Amino acid sequence: MARHRNLRFSLLLLSAIVVLTGCENGPLVSGAFDRNFSVTGPIRLELNNASGDVNITGSADGKVHVRGEVRASGFGIDNTRKRLGDTLANPPIEQKGDTIRIGKDMSRMRNISITYTIQVPRATEVDANVASGAQTIRNVTGPVTVRAASGSIRLENIQRDAEVTTASGTITAGDVGSDLHVSTASGNVDLSNIKGNVRASTVSGVIHITKPGARVEAGNTSGEIEIQGASNDVKAHAISGLVSVQGNPGADSYWDLKSVSGGVQLRVPAAANLHLTAEASSGDIRSDIPIVVEEQGKHTLRAHMGSGGGRVDVHTVSGEIRVSGTK
């Protein structure tokens, strides 16, 4: 249910592009503004932007600096210049205590595009909503929440939880110190070195997860799922696409790997300890490394490696299941 709510929210943001930015017909004028804010202690940054890229970076100077590069378009050069001048003189930014709000009045941003470059203290919580534009958020404590309709999203060096939802765009995240939840309707997902639990889903795209530090849950409707360096619980389900998991399940780990239309590849060390149950409704089951077969049918297999331990269940309706070794 949460996934569907996030998708509906992103589609609403996408419709906001038309309502708030309109078409860039007629003359185009541009300018920039800079604003500085004094803060003490941790802050919260709330950002809403109809059109334009956003770059948020945590720094050690304990200040907030906002630079906005503004483009205004529309019919009539005088009217366009006036709207640009009004925006530069009175940018949509306000400070209330330890909260900085950017884009506080989106209703007056029609045919206005603003690219933001923002420096904040590292001890910053971020809540960003962008209808159209790329977003990069790095070097902040968090938590970080990002919602978008269209545009790539990149997170780097976030200490606390992060949640990312977009209707169309790639999601890249690295070095997140706690849980990470990401969802995109159309776009690839690339995650690395996430210390907490990972939950990732896409309707159309590739999910690639490297060095997860805790539980992984990945779901894909049309595209591949690839997980490397797994050692804790893994749930990876694809409707149409390859599922590939490499790692070494711990003694209490449970790996649940499924693909309806596609193969499943399991890669583990030859010295791994695990119980394996595999079922391929229409396909072969192969192992390139020694396993102890307990029971085997035409499309089923029960086996173990080493002294047993972690439990691995693999299922595919139409596709091959292959077990191979790693160094």
> For 172-219, what is each residue's pLDDT tens digit?
999 999 999 999 999 999 999 999 999 999 999 999 999 999 999 999
Q: Quick one: pLDDT at residue 134?
A: 96
Gyration radius (Cα) of the chain, Å:
24
CA distance 88 to 65: 15
Q: Residue 209 to residues 7, 11, 98, 146, 214: CA-CA distances in angstroms? A: 22, 26, 35, 19, 12
Q: Quick one: pLDDT at residue 1?
A: 43
Is the bond preceding 143 in cis, omega lying within 30 degrees of 0? yes
Query: Which residues of the chain are modeled with pLDDT < 50?
Result: 1-24
The answer to whether 228 touches 286, Cβ cutoff 8 Å, is no
CA distance 300 to 295: 8
Q: Quick one: pLDDT at residue 23?
A: 41
CB neighbours (10 Å) of residue 38? 8
Question: Torsions phi, psi of 11, nearest 5?
Answer: -65, -35
2: closest CA among 189, 174, 172, 201?
201
Q: How far is CA 299 from the centre of its chain?
A: 36
CA distance 40 to 233: 41
